[in-house]
């Protein structure tokens, strides 16, 4: 958290308020948030830059700036970007404040201090190891099959591996596997073509539905307005501790898969 739907929601809801605006300063309440360049260079280069575009790559948010600079933000596990149009004080756990002309501020709130920012000339230097985007037209069942070929790792772990597919995380991997009726422990290479097609469809449908519901607010994710998303209300198995499967009414099971808590229905998602 936040995963692809949350970052896409943040991008969509920030854009109308910040495109064309200029940075006037950055207050760094926790200096560890800046990965590159130095703190002094970061603030100096950012000052006066206009935001000319905004896009998402995987779980990263990228601001196009004048002079070919790019501000790259990764929210990691607990980050949010909150908009303020007045002089209100930063909320608790704010690690950086990006000041824009006209009195607008973007608060980078991050209780766990895991989020990072970069100011670079080429965003690919930060995101170079990411796999394909699951919602783009060129992500086909054939591409998914190629990414899973000869992979012995559990399919749940592969879906969460950002070098295999960009943007999918723990909860949406659980939801997609449930929708495709695939056991999370199945080796990636064991999936049939029919199962791969079903999983491909489930990935896209799951992510699109979550974007439509403005992301999932399980613990600490907030939209720029401070409101929460509602995608978690539609979850079938993810975070389903002590709940029953909506299909068969049997208990949802939680197991670790490569140190990730994984929720699934053993009856609807059999081992073989």
List the catalytic residue out of 49, 56, 59, 186.
Answer: 59
Does an H or E element contain 25, and which? strand 23-28
Tokens (6 digits) for 28: 């760094």
Residues 6+ apart with CB under 8 A from 109: 79, 80, 81, 82, 90, 91, 92, 93, 94, 95, 222
CB atoms within 10 A of CB 84: 17
The residue assigned the tokens 């896209």 is 204
In 10 A of CB 102, how many CB atoms?
9
59 is catalytic: yes
Compute the distance between CA of residue 264 and CA of residue 101 in angstroms, rounded to an integer. 48
Q: What are phi and psi of 59, to 5 degrees?
A: -100, 10
Residue 152 annotated as catalytic: no
2 given a catalytic annotation: yes
Q: Is 57 a catalytic residue?
A: no
Active-site residue, selected from the candidate residues 3, 6, 8, 175: 3
The span from the CA of 132 to the CA of 220, in Å, is 27
The angle that helices 193-212 and 141-148 make with each other, rounded to 10 degrees, is 110
Catalytic option among 113, 201, 260, 266:
260
Residue in 2, 134, 154, 184 annotated catalytic: 2
Task: Give catalytic residue positions.
Answer: 2-3, 59, 260
């Amino acid at each position: 958290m936040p995963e692809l739907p949350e970052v896409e929601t943040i991008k969509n809801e920030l854009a109308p308020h910040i495109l064309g605006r200029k940075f006037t300063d950055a207050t760094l309440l926790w200096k560890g948030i800046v990965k590159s360049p130095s703190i002094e260079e970061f603030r100096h280069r950012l000052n006066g830059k206009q935001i000319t575009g905004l896009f998402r790559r995987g779980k990263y948010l990228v601001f196009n700036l004048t002079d070919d600079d790019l501000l790259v933000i990764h929210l990691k596990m607990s980050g949010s970007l909150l908009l303020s149009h007045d002089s209100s004080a930063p909320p608790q756990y704010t690690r950086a404040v990006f000041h824009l002309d006209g009195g607008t501020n973007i608060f980078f709130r991050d209780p766990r201090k895991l989020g990072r920012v970069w100011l670079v000339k080429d965003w690919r230097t930060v995101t170079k190891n990411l796999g394909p985007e699951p919602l783009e037209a060129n992500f086909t069942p054939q591409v998914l099959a190629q990414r899973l070929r000869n992979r012995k790792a559990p399919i749940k772990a592969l879906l969460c591996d950002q070098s295999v597919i960009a943007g999918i995380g723990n909860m949406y991997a659980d939801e997609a596997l449930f929708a495709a009726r695939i056991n999370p422990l199945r080796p990636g290479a064991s999936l049939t073509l029919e199962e791969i097609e079903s999983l491909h469809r489930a990935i896209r449908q799951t992510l699109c539905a979550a974007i439509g519901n403005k992301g999932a607010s399980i613990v600490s994710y907030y939209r720029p307005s401070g409101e929460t998303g509602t995608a978690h209300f539609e979850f079938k198995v993810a975070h389903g501790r002590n709940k029953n499967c909506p299909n068969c009414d049997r208990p949802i099971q939680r197991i670790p898969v490569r140190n990730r808590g994984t929720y699934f229905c053993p009856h609807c998602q059999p081992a073989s």
